[in-house]
Amino acid sequence: MAVFTSFLAGLVLGLGLIVSGMADPAKVLGFLDLAGAWDPSLAFVMAGAIAVAVVPFAVARRRTVPLLGGQMRLIEARHIDRRLIGGSLVFGIGWGIAGLCPGTSLVILGTGSAAAAVFVLAMLAGMAIFELLERRRRRTLLAC
Amino acid sequence: MSIDWNAFTPWTALAGGVLVGSAASLLVLLNGRIAGISGVLGGLLTPVAGDIAWRVAFILGLLVAPLGVALFSAMPRAQIDAGQGALIAAGFLVGIGARYGSGCPSGHGVCGLSRLSPRSLVATAAFMGAGFVTVFVLRHLLGI
């Protein structure tokens, strides 16, 4: 059951990205281009999503067990550090180059796009390098 | 700043956003998980037993979303214009940046802001800011 609801969440999220127009990188870049002809649509996507999700997230925070059982895995990290800001800045540069984020690249990959496959492979490589560097960092921390 | 009224699609953006917010709500209430695509995907690179199936199912849902849309209407434009080199660079930066920054537009921008997390607000401001600057430099300074 949990696997099915997870599939459903991915599907609905993907449909949302397509309906919203965000599966078109040109539209994302239109939002990021403040100095050109600006397309504010992306802000409306976020506003719509947050308006719907704010109450469910407040409910989820008060629960210790999800409706399907298991464990609530909410992110409890609160610190704002160099990693968070540096990582997000690097992400933003990549986002601004192609107009693609992890979600939209996977949705476009689902249309059979070879360009999306190139982006997703490079993205996985970036994620893999993060895991390797993290493993080395943890080992160094343990050795100290 | 001038708004591109021809490109601006407030209603479909809001409707798509509502779907995205519903998907995130579904996953957090039923499964107790955060619908952050980079986190869901990144977790598969260092797989932990019992924590794999829901991730695969979620990604699968994103991948089949275009098929779901194609059943009811014509698939809207989802075309990538960036060249091969740009896609590789962008994908790599997005992948490594999302993992160091612990999230992407879905994780920080939708789930994090819905939880009113200051950490996600900082991350969202950082990647949007970097995206604005990157598009400005590429389009208006370098003319690419």
CB atoms within 10 A of CB A73: 13
Mean pLDDT of B59-81: 91
Burial class (CB in 10 A: 0-12, 13-18, 19+), A80: middle
In a domain, B50, yes or no: yes
Contact A36 B139 (CB under 8 A): yes
Closest-CA residue of chain A to B127: A92
Sign for the CA dihedral angle at B74, A13, B99, A82 comes to: positive
Q: What is the pLDDT of residues A24-76, one digit of tens each?
A: 999 999 999 999 999 999 999 999 999 999 999 999 999 989 999 888 888 77
Asked if B93's CB is within 8 angstroms of A93's CB, the reply is: yes
* Inter-residue long-range contacts of B122-126, CB under 8 Å, 24+ positions, other chains counted: B122/A80, B122/A84, B122/A85, B122/A88, B123/A84, B123/A85, B123/A87, B123/A88, B124/A88, B126/A84, B126/A85, B126/A88, B126/A89, B126/A92, B126/B101
pLDDT of residue A104: 97
Q: Does the residue B5 lie in any domain?
A: no
Number of structural domains chain B divides into: 1
Boundaries of domain holding B38: 10-141
Split into its structural domains, chain A has a count of: 1
pLDDT surpasses 80 at B98: yes
User: Which H or E element spans position A95?
Assistant: helix A82-98
| Model pLDDT for residues B108-117, shown as the tens digit of each residue | 999 999 999 9
Establish whether this prediction's ipTM goes over 0.85.
Answer: yes
Would B4 be classed as within a structural domain? no
Q: What is the mean pLDDT of residues B112-136?
A: 96
**Structural domain boundaries enclosing A101:** 2-143
Counts for chain B of helices (H) and strands (E), in that order:
6, 1
Closest CA of chain A from B99, distance in Å: 6
pLDDT beyond 80 at B59: yes
In a domain, B66, yes or no: yes
Query: If DSSP codes are grouped into helix, strand and coil, which group holds residue A37?
Result: strand
Does residue A144 have a pLDDT over 70? Answer: no
Give the tens place of pLDDT for each residue, A96-125.
999 999 999 999 999 999 999 999 999 999
pLDDT at B142 > cutoff 80:
yes
> What percent of chain A has a predicted confidence (pLDDT) above 70?
99
Predicted TM-score (pTM) of this structure: 0.95
Determine, yes or no, domain membership for B1.
Answer: no
The distance of Cα B10 from the centroid of its chain, to the nearest Å, equals 18
Q: How many CB pairs under 8 A join A and B?
A: 498
Contact A27, A39 (CB under 8 A): yes
Residue at B103 is within a domain: yes
Q: What is the least distance, in Å, from the CA of A136 to any CA of chain B?
A: 14
